[in-house]
Amino acid sequence: MSVDVRDRTGGALDGRAPEERRVGAPARASGGSWGWIAQVVTGGALGVLVVVHLVAQHFVVDAPAGLRDYDAVIAYLASPLMLVIEALFLVVVTWHAMLGVRAIAFDLGLGAVGRRRVTVAVSVLGVVTLGYGIWLLALLAGAG
């Protein structure tokens, strides 16, 4: 038994005529599934890395109120493992944030050109942010 779900005008419920839909395609075939998967993965990694960052920076330090001073931060970043963890944290938080901004912009209902422009703008912003962050980490790590 098959059921034909149509509105009164004869179109499919998603607003497109039946001939405009691909056979077997879900109602929202054009989306950002890779972006969504990357958002979930970076969100999970962010959950782990933020805990590592908070513990290492604030809970296992001999400093008033758990705040490191400049010299303590330089000593902390002198460890290659901690430098890699902080750099990874920077990459993951930037990627997660840029994906989120892109998803919010896409929810505004932009066309194909608008989506491309948003993707390029967010990508450039992410690269600039990472460039500055990595430069700053390298500068601080080299100060010790």
At 82-98, the pLDDT tens digits run 999 999 999 999 999 99
- Regarding pTM above 0.75, the answer is no
Q: What integer pLDDT is reported at residue 13 of this predicted model?
A: 53
CA distance 31 to 72: 46
The CATH code for residues 33-142 is 1.20.1300.10
Spell out the domain ranges in the chain: 33-142
**DSSP secondary structure, the chain, as one string:** -----B-TTSSBTTSS-GGGSPTT--TT-SS-HHHHHHHHHHHHHHHHHHHHHHIIIIIS--SGGG---HHHHHHHHTSHHHHHHHHHHHHHHHHHHHHHHHHHHHTT---HHHHHHHHHHHHHHHHHHHHHHHHHHHHHHHT-
Q: Over the chain, what is the mean pLDDT?
A: 82
Average pLDDT over residues 108-121: 94
Contacts of 61 (CB under 8 A, 6+ apart): 67, 68, 72
Q: What integer pLDDT is reported at residue 29 of this predicted model?
A: 39
